[in-house]
């Protein structure tokens, strides 16, 4: 893999290129390549997620002084959900540099979306370790904040749960329900995974730092998918 090429595309001149390679290394790859002397990217993802959360929150707080905490939470959920981040990762061409097991490499569905989103967060973690917070923040602003105008124009961030409920009740005559399927991390740094159901059918899942944020995230994701399919 020519990681100098992807580094150029990312616009980051890494001092330690091994951090970038680690950011692309999925745990499954190491299971099939135990003698590679590589490390998987989960720790970098953990770090990058926190850096992205801070940078995004700070940007929204300063940019929208009149919005409520609830509005800022909904905006942040629209920016940092799996679908948005995986779309950015795809556009950056991260997919072709992933180090995956043979099985994971064949999967192009939802699992790949999560891997791409996690890789994007891992790259943020790698930049942070290599060059500090300000450089990582610049990378986030350059690649993620460009989505904000579209989100604001569509109004899709506005109480996504209520908006989705109206649509589903009108189309299907049922009310969407939400179920917390995973809760990870210590009390000061929780990550919730919530599944959205139409009746007994699971539609999609979302994540957030609170159950409310995770519910907004998955509702927003489904709204975006509905909008894309109707075009």
Catalytic residues: 49, 121
**Spatial distance between the Cα atoms of 219 and 165, rounded to a whole number of angstroms:** 9
Three-state DSSP class for 192?
strand
Residues in the chain: 231
Strand partners, 193: 182, 207
Tokens of 229: 């399919």
DSSP letter for each residue of 112-143: HHHHHHHHHHHHHHHHHHHH-HHHHHHHHHHH
Q: Exposed, middle or buried: residue 172 (CB in 10 Å: 0-12, 13-18, 19+)?
A: exposed
């Amino acid at each position: 893999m020519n990681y100098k090429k992807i580094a150029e595309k990312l616009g980051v001149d890494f001092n330690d290129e091994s951090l970038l390679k680690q950011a692309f290394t999925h745990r499954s790859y190491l299971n099939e390549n135990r003698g590679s002397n590589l490390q998987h990217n989960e720790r970098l993802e953990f770090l990058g997620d926190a850096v992205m959360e801070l940078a995004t929150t700070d940007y929204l707080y300063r940019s929208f002084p009149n919005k409520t905490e609830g509005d800022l939470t909904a905006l942040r959920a629209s920016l940092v959900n799996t679908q948005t981040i995986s779309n950015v990762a795809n556009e950056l061409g991260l997919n072709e540099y992933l180090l995956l097991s043979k099985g994971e490499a064949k999967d192009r569905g939802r699992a790949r979306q999560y891997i791409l989103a996690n890789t994007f967060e891992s790259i943020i973690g790698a930049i942070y370790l290599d060059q500090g917070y300000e450089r990582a923040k610049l990378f986030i602003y350059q690649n993620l904040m460009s989505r904000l105008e579209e989100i604001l124009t569509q109004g899709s961030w506005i109480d996504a749960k209520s908006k989705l409920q109206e649509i589903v009740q009108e189309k299907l005559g049922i009310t969407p329900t939400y179920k917390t399927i995973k809760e990870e991390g210590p009390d000061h740094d929780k990550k919730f995974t919530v599944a959205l159901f139409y009746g007994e059918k699971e539609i999609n899942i979302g994540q957030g730092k609170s159950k409310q944020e995770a519910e907004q995230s998955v509702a927003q994701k489904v709204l975006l998918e509905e909008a894309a399919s109707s075009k």
